Amino acid sequence: MKLPYIEKTLRIVYGVVELEKNSIMDKWYKHQILLECKELVKFLPETHLYTKDRFWEMMSRYKEIMIKPTRGNGGRGIIKVSKITDEIYEVHLRKRQTTIMEEKSLEQFLQARLGGREFLVQICISLAKVKGNPIDFRYIVQRKREELDWVITGKHGKVAQDGYIITNLQNGATVVTVEEALLNSNITNLDLEKTLAALDDLSLAVAKCYTNEFDTHKIWGFDLAVDESGHVWLIEANSIPLVGGFRYLEDLSMYNKVLWYKAYNQKSGKKP
């Protein structure tokens, strides 16, 4: 399922600067690929390229949205915007919350921080929480260089630090097992086995969907989430995932397995 022209076409339509076509690093391009796998659409939060008009259209429908750069990792540059009243907005950036009065002031605030770079605007999922702090999950999916079948080699939960909207380890998140995060969460009527299976199935399905487009790639890091009602979501797909979080688990078997797969694939002289 190659998509040689869709990224360029959409960039022109939305009037933004075109980046490298078909880039595995571009979150917008990777999102478009997943939209072509129809069975995955229900797991993808509504996402668009950021424009001022699109931002206000999304705010009118959802009252709370996320803005994130199309490239980058570690949670850098992610902004949450909430509509409190018709003239009052709250902006959450890292641990800092700012109240802004009037639409024009909010536009100026965002313009100064976006700096002409390319961003996405996305609905804000009501993430499950542990003691009031959002949680999500890092899944590492890998395959051997001579095989097509993907394997989940590692998975863990991340609990955001007090006051943060994102769960990145760089911002002090706590690493726990997936089961521990779910069992201690505020998910209503949690079916643990069903939720664990749904997270596993989603990570493998996303990797499979990407296989045709990125046919030489052998490792993905997926940030998955479960909302407060128990529905699972794909938040982000990382082509060069950080795996250091697995070192914080008492059981290091998953960390060792991830490294083993990476070492195995590097024997060919190519990076996975």
Q: How far apart are CA 120 and CA 237, in angstroms?
A: 14
pTM of structure: 0.88
Q: What share of the chain is helix, strand, coil (3-state, %, to 5)?
A: 35, 25, 40
pLDDT in tens, 174-233: 999 999 999 999 999 999 999 999 999 999 999 999 999 999 999 999 999 999 999 999
The Cα diameter of the chain in Å comes to 59
CATH for 129-266 (3.30.1490.20, 3.40.50.150, 3.30.470.20, 3.30.60.50): 3.30.470.20
pLDDT for 106-156, tens place per residue? 999 999 999 888 999 999 999 999 999 999 999 999 999 999 999 999 999
Structural domain boundaries in the chain: 6-36+46-123, 129-266
For helices 27-35 and 192-211, what crossing angle results, to 10°? 100
